[in-house]
Amino acid sequence: MTSVLLLAGMFALPALANGTKPGVPSRLDPELMLIDVYKSLAANRLREAQAKADALVAAYPNFRLGQLVRGDLLLLHTQPIKTFGAAKDAPADNLAALRAEAMVRLKSLRERPDPNLVPQPLLQLRPDQKNVLLMDARRSRLYVYERGSDNHFKLVRDYYVSQGKLGVDKFKEGDQKTPLGIYYITSRVPGPRLPEFYGPGALPINYPNEWDRVNDRGGSGIWFHGTPPDSYSRPPLSSDGCIVLPNPDMIELSERVQVGMTPVIIAETLKFVTPVRAEADRIHANRMLEAWRVDLESTDPQKLRRHYSQHFKAMRGQNLNSWLERIQQTNLGARQIKVDLKDVSLFRYPDQKGQREMIVAAFTQEAVIGKGRHVTRKRQYWAKEGAQWRIVSEANIQ
């Protein structure tokens, strides 16, 4: 059996209704076309597979993986082949990268998220956040989940993506890694303002975030962006840290996101839980935040202190004592204040090496102090210390 056939057998996929996957637009999808090629091969229908491969490269002539598979099929008409990319005109400079792309594309489609489960990081979106982007680095996959009624999340689209040459867990400038964490789309950069290397445009994210800075993580310029005109896609590990999509996918993604609003969660491996577990985690996080609000309202510094870790550190280097002193100064010595929390979003932070369980809460704090009204957007990082959850970092944000 040829390696092409071995691939077809190894990544046998469950039947997809009408040959599509959830959320795929009306345009031809090269992944689905490639799957059809492998299905025909697995059924020993070589001519049918060839016709499908011809159609694939006709629709996407710059899809190098499709060209490679088509070349193997042409050669298979005349002789046995024992290796993926056996055709003489195959791009010999990057066969290993193309093999890796074939593997992650097909494997990620075989291991699709269970629609009955919820991504573990998703706890709660604020009312005006429509969707959230979640990247599974191990699968080189970006998932778009949309918030429905009753805090229900639904997978509406997913994309193959490339990441840093040296993987994930970025720490410093130039390490060629993609960061792990929770970020936001900060702007849109149109294609005409960029070299053609970036394709139709870019979506920068706010790396390093507050937690990155507290932990001395550096670097800059982490974007979602497209590919040059001569390449439909790039190998899984091929960027300097950015997240790279095929140009048609990049255009579609850009239309889905809300600048300044859309969360981006980058995990090494995306974990899933039952809706019951997700709802229990959401309720617990809200109760934790509410207990903090009540003690902030009490103006009792000792009650407030119990919510903070002794290892607390703010983005500008303040320790716990200086941070709490700042809060007391803001309260102007009032004996009583009224505090409301609005537009709350809650996420579990993706796992990082050596890091405790963490929850990130972002909210608008409206405080009435005397005759004054103070409105602040905050982000808190809560970590589990033994059986207790405590704030390890906090920042006022835009």
Q: Does residue 215 carry a pLDDT above 80?
A: yes
Per-residue pLDDT band for 332 (boundaries 50, 70, 90) equals: low
Q: Which spans in 141-257 are helix H? A: 210-214, 247-256
Q: Does residue 132 carry a pLDDT above 60?
A: yes
Mean pLDDT across 112-141: 95
Distance CA 324, CA 304 (A): 8
Mean pLDDT across 305-325: 91
Q: Does residue 143 carry a pLDDT above 50?
A: yes
Nearest by Cα to 243 from 332, 180, 309: 180
CA dihedral angle for residue 294, residue 295, residue 298, residue 301, rounded to 10 degrees: -170
| DSSP secondary structure string for all residues of 334-396 | -S-EEEEEEEEEEEEPPP-TTPPPEEEEEEEEEEEETTEEEEEEEEEEEEEETTEEEEEEEEE
Q: Does residue 18 carry a pLDDT above 50?
A: no
Query: Tens digits of per-residue pLDDT, 189-202?
Result: 999 999 999 999 99
Query: Tens digits of per-residue pLDDT, 242-277?
Result: 999 999 999 999 999 999 999 999 999 999 999 999
How much of the chain is helix, strand and coil, in % rounded to 5?
35, 25, 40
Query: Tens digits of per-residue pLDDT, 66-98?
Result: 988 898 888 887 777 766 666 666 555 678 888
Q: Is 202 helix (H, G, I), strand (E, B) or coil?
A: strand
Give the CA angle between residues 355, 359, 362 to the nearest 5°. 135
pLDDT of residue 252: 95
Query: Residues 12, 14, 18, 21: is their CA dihedral positive or negative?
Result: negative
Per-residue pLDDT band for 15 (boundaries 50, 70, 90) equals: very low
Mean pLDDT across 278-303: 95
Q: Does residue 51 carry a pLDDT above 90?
A: yes
Per-residue pLDDT band for 140 (boundaries 50, 70, 90) equals: very high
Q: Is 181 helix (H, G, I), strand (E, B) or coil?
A: strand
Distances (CA, A) of 117 to 146, 151, 160: 14, 13, 21
Work out the mean pLDDT of the chain and round it to a whole number: 88
Q: Which amino acid is at 291?
A: A
Q: Does residue 26 carry a pLDDT above 90?
A: no
Q: How many CB atoms lie within 10 A of CB 328?
A: 13
Q: Does residue 108 carry a pLDDT above 90?
A: no
pLDDT of residue 327: 82
